[in-house]
Amino acid sequence: MPRPVSVTYRVSPTPAATARAGAQLFTEAAGKAAQSRGLARIAISGGTTPKTMFGLLADPAEPFLKQVPWDKLELYWVDERCVPPDNAESNYRMTKEALLSKVPLPAERVHRMEGELPPDVAAARYESTIRNTFKLEGAETPTFDLVLLGMGDDGHTASLFPHTEALNEMSHIVVPNHVPQKDTWRITLTWPVINQGREVAFLIEGTGKAQVLHDVFLGPYQPEVHPSQLIRPASGQLTLLLDSAAAAKLPAPANSDSAGTLELKTGTLELK
């Protein structure tokens, strides 16, 4: 049986406001981790909303650039396409253009997945990178301070697609995953590792995500069909940063709150 988890969903009026909520979460998580442990380890995803969020983090006119402890940040990826780092499909390339080329994050603290290598080699090398940088021993698994996820129209997250082998992986940190429906390979963190994150959050926007959000969080538990249902953090807390279009089929949030320039409506679901 899946573990119980409390899902807090924070609904912003627009995709741009959702990206801003993501930038604030990133900044707060990095600051909290750096202050508590001297280092912030964050795993990020690709996609439109993260790209906008990265732009905000790197913008000198925004407060985030000065607030993020870049000298104490270690940046990782949740997943990657099996393409070279200069390919237009590369999550790393998007992040480099939107964020890394504009912020004072030392290159040695940027840990990319080597999508240009054979998938099994890339996955093994990335698992080794994580084990070395986290100084893990034996069967220990990493605990990221923040894991930022997206969700596909089919209910996938990271590169954990419906009915693929990676859904059954319990022992590795990183695996290659063949995705027949896209006729491609991906490299991805495994869901038990994602669930170890101190904070785990989805950034989701758009009308096209409303039905799948409803199905994942209010429908029957069918993780082979909707892999995002596997994301039930060990902390017992999961955060959704949504725009109003994506949240249209969730219960209307009961509370409103203001966080800086953000105007958010907040609701909670209890998943049993």
Summarize pLDDT for 52-109 with one digit per residue, the tens. 999 999 999 999 999 999 999 999 999 999 999 999 999 999 999 999 999 999 999 9
260 has pLDDT over 80? no
pTM metric for this prediction: 0.95
Tell me the two tokens of residue 197: 């994150």
Residues in CB range of 185: below 8 A, 6 or more apart: 82, 119, 176, 177, 178, 179
CB atoms under 10 Å from CB of 125, counted, come to: 15
What is 83-120 written as a DSSP string? S-TTSTT-HHHHHHHHTGGGS---GGGB----TTS-HH
* Residue 261: predicted pLDDT: 43
Sign of CA dihedral 269, 77, 156, 127: negative
Strand order in the sheet with 73-77: 73-77, 40-44, 146-149, 200-204, 237-243, 5-12, 262-271, 255-259
pLDDT tens digits along 185-219: 999 999 999 999 999 999 999 999 999 999 999 99
Percent share of the chain, pLDDT over 70: 96
Going from the N-terminus, what domains does the chain have, and what CATH number goes with each? 5-271 (3.40.50.1360)
